[in-house]
Structure 1
Amino acid sequence: MSGVALHKIVKRFGEAEVIHGVDLAVEPGEFCVFVGPSGCGKSTLLRMIAGLEVTTSGQIRIGDNDVTSAEPAERGIAMVFQTYALYPHMTVAENMGFGLKMNGHPKAEITQKVQRAAEILKLEPLLDRKPAALSGGQRQRVAIGRAITRGPEVFLFDEPLSNLDAELRVEMRAEIARLHREIGATMIYVTHDQVEAMTMADKIVVLRSGHIEQVGAPMDLYDDPDNRFVAGFIGSPAMNFLKGTVRGGKIDVPGLGGAVSAPVSLPSEGVEVEIGLRPNALTIVPEGNLRVDMVENLGGVSYAHLRTADDERLVIETEKRGVASEGGTVGVTFDPSDLYVFRADTGARVRA
């Protein structure tokens, strides 16, 4: 297996620069996920690694090789796309072995590699079927099997689960995570779904507007975000944000009706900030002036959607039923140690 290293990678379309000097190291055997909103550059960056987009400047290395200008077939990668791109007239086995056949590999070798991939992906009973007789999840497993048979140094996944329904996405997340554990290959995976990123990744790369905002292990990004963007993007439901102003060594938060203490060294008097609180860090109490817009009861957990007097939104996660009723009013409490502080002007995290 090989790692991937990006050094000052830039991509321009005409005069528009969409990737801005990205530096990144993906270690051998690591499962790295690129995540971010639509248009942030994650798929473009993946396609540059694959050689499907020309790199304007910078260097891409896979293992010991500089592949910046190499053709896709020379990079030792295999890519799994959002669309399955299976040949409808071929069986599962023929689809999985087609690339090897086109490259002139012996029939016995092709059969052996297809069988091995089918065992890993639990496709043995389906090898004689054609794509029309398969479910969406089975088709995606065939597409992954086609990549496995090539024996690549690096697997690249471009939003492979976005065409599947919710239940199949959960199933395929587990399948891909198990595949990574079993074969130990380097994998780079693109998604806009932060739940996929949190549940699958060894390392998450959070992208925005062609820049890397933060890189880290899933729970490191969740517990210790560098800025408001990462704090709001990682976590489901998203972190709550309320406007405040530094006053007398505390933060005056109109939405909560008073001043709150913060576990950090605050900026100067009068500086505008935002406080951040995870939905599970807030507790609902009966007395307060927060309006209950809606309560989502999901069985073991409920989400109460509240509004402040300033029309700011709060989402509270609770395991207790009946603590909030739509149309009513409640209050909230929290431990000050669970509070995050961000500068209102830059979004940067205010740290201790």
Structure 2
Amino acid sequence: MSSVSLINATKNYDDIRVIHGVDLHIEAGDFCVFVGPSGCGKSTLLRMIAGLEDITSGNISIGERDVTTADPSERGVAMVFQTYALYPHMTVRENMSFGLKMNKVPKLEIIKKVDHASNILQLNPYLDRKPRALSGGQRQRVAIGRAIVRGPEVFLFDEPLSNLDAELRVEMRVELAHLHKELGATMIYVTHDQVEAMTMADKIVVLRAGKIEQVGSPLELYNNPVNKFVAGFIGSPGMNFLGAVVEEGKIKVPGLNNIAVPSRATLPADGTKLVVGIRPQHFVESEHPNPFKVDIIEHLGGVSYVHLQTSTGEKLIIEQRGSVLERGVETINLALDIDEVMLFDTQTELRVR
């Protein structure tokens, strides 16, 4: 396993810059996830590390080696794509061993490597089957096995679970976490699904428009986002954002019926407009009249999400556990945990601390 470093890495397509001076260091053995909305540059960045996209400027290192201009085959990486890219006429064993045969690896070593990978991925019963006789999850495990047998320094995953159904995605997330623990390898994983990022990553890199917004552990990003974008992207359902104004050293939130929110942050002058961020679980039902109109209630078993409309027309989602509202309820009285409120600047979207 090796570390991966990018120094002021950029990527242009003609006159259009899609990656803007990325500086990033991934420690050896880390499970690092690139996450962000479609078009943010996460797959492009992964392909730059793999050598499948030329870098416009900057440097990329894997371990102690500068691989900025190195051929993909010389970088010591193995990539698992969204599509399985298996040879349909070959068995599982033949698919996993094909790259080794092309590199003229001795036969006994190939058998040893394939057997080792199939044991890790529980593919032994399927080694003589062809891809058409496998489920989607099994095919993806074969694609991962093909990467394992190469013994790479770094594994690269480009949205490998997006073609699977919801239940299989959950299973494969757990399998990938176990695989990382067993191999101890450096893994870089691209996804647009922040739930995948939160559940698997040691380190998350949040990208927007080709720039890094924040890097940190899942809980760091969840509990201490640097700006409104990260706060809204990390967490499911996302954070609620409401307009607010500073009055007499407190935060007044019109959408919350002018609840006054004291703050430990250094507040700007009275009259300054801010954005208040509140996560769904930080609302509680109140005994005091503070009614909000109920739009939709989503019952998910142990948890329910109540979609509300504020007096100012803003949308709000709250989380309920235990006793829940019945469908047909028109209003609910709310209070909030004021210690959990976050503040953001309306112009820069940076956190106000």
TM range (shorter): over 0.9
Question: In 1, Cα distance between the equivalents of 2:316 and 2:326?
Answer: 13
Tell me the CA shift for residue 144 of structure 1.
0.1
Gaps of 5+ in 1: none
Tell me the CA shift for residue 285 of structure 1.
2.8
Amino acid at match of 2:290: G
Gaps of 5+ in 2: none
Provide the secondary structure at the position in 1 that maps to 2:69.
coil
2:312 maps to 310
Amino acid at match of 2:31: F
* Bigger mean CA offset, 267-276 vs 231-240: 267-276
2:261 maps to 260
1:275 maps to 276
Amino acid at match of 1:279: P
1:115 maps to 115
Contact 1:304–1:324, Cα closer than 8 Å, also in 2? no
Contact 2:257–2:290, Cα closer than 8 Å, also in 1? no
Deviations 1:36-81 (A, max 9, x none): 0000000000000000000000000000100000110000000000
What value does the CA root-mean-square deviation take over the aligned residues? Answer: 1.0
Amino acid at match of 1:314: L
Deviations 1:79-105 (A, max 9, x none): 000000000000000000100000111
Provide the secondary structure at the position in 2 that maps to 1:52.
coil
| Aligned 1:87-166 pairs, distance under 5 A | 87-166=87-166
Taking structure 1 as the reference length, what is the TM-score of the superposition? Answer: 0.98
| Aligned 1:211-250 pairs, distance under 5 A | 211-250=211-250
Question: In 2, Cα distance between the equivalents of 1:112 and 1:31?
Answer: 26
Question: In 2, Cα distance between the equivalents of 1:309 and 1:324?
Answer: 22
| Aligned 1:161-240 pairs, distance under 5 A | 161-240=161-240
Deviations 1:292-336 (A, max 9, x none): 001111111111111102111111111133436445112211221
Is 1:71 equivalent to 2:71 in the alignment?
yes
Question: In 2, Cα distance between the equivalents of 1:181 and 1:148?
Answer: 14
Provide the secondary structure at the position in 2 that maps to 1:299.
coil
Question: In 2, Cα distance between the equivalents of 1:216 and 1:293?
Answer: 36
Tell me the CA shift for residue 288 of structure 1.
2.5
| Aligned 1:269-348 pairs, distance under 5 A | 269-285=270-286, 287-323=289-325, 325-326=327-328, 328-348=330-350
Contact 1:240–1:279, Cα closer than 8 Å, also in 2? yes
Contact 2:304–2:324, Cα closer than 8 Å, also in 1? no
Amino acid at match of 1:149: V
Amino acid at match of 1:280: Q
Amino acid at match of 2:265: V
Contact 1:324–1:330, Cα closer than 8 Å, also in 2? no
Deviations 1:234-293 (A, max 9, x none): 000101111011111011211011132223121222111111111111112363331100
Identical amino acids, percent of aligned pairs: 64
Q: 1:256 to 1:325 in 2, by over 3 A?
A: farther
Question: In 1, Cα distance between the equivalents of 2:44 and 2:338?
Answer: 41
Contact 1:4–1:60, Cα closer than 8 Å, also in 2? yes
* Bigger mean CA offset, 15-24 vs 270-279: 270-279
* Bigger mean CA offset, 301-310 vs 73-82: 301-310
Contact 1:289–1:309, Cα closer than 8 Å, also in 2? no
- Number of aligned positions between the proteins: 351
Deviations 1:195-240 (A, max 9, x none): 0000000000000000000000000100000000000000001011
Provide the secondary structure at the position in 2 that maps to 1:316.
strand
Question: In 1, Cα distance between the equivalents of 2:300 and 2:335?
Answer: 22
Contact 1:241–1:277, Cα closer than 8 Å, also in 2? yes
Provide the secondary structure at the position in 2 that maps to 1:331.
strand
Contact 2:173–2:200, Cα closer than 8 Å, also in 1? yes
Tell me the CA shift for residue 179 of structure 1.
0.2
Amino acid at match of 2:343: V
Provide the secondary structure at the position in 1 that maps to 2:7.
strand
Taking structure 2 as the reference length, what is the TM-score of the superposition? Answer: 0.98
Amino acid at match of 1:223: N
1:85 maps to 85
Amino acid at match of 1:292: V
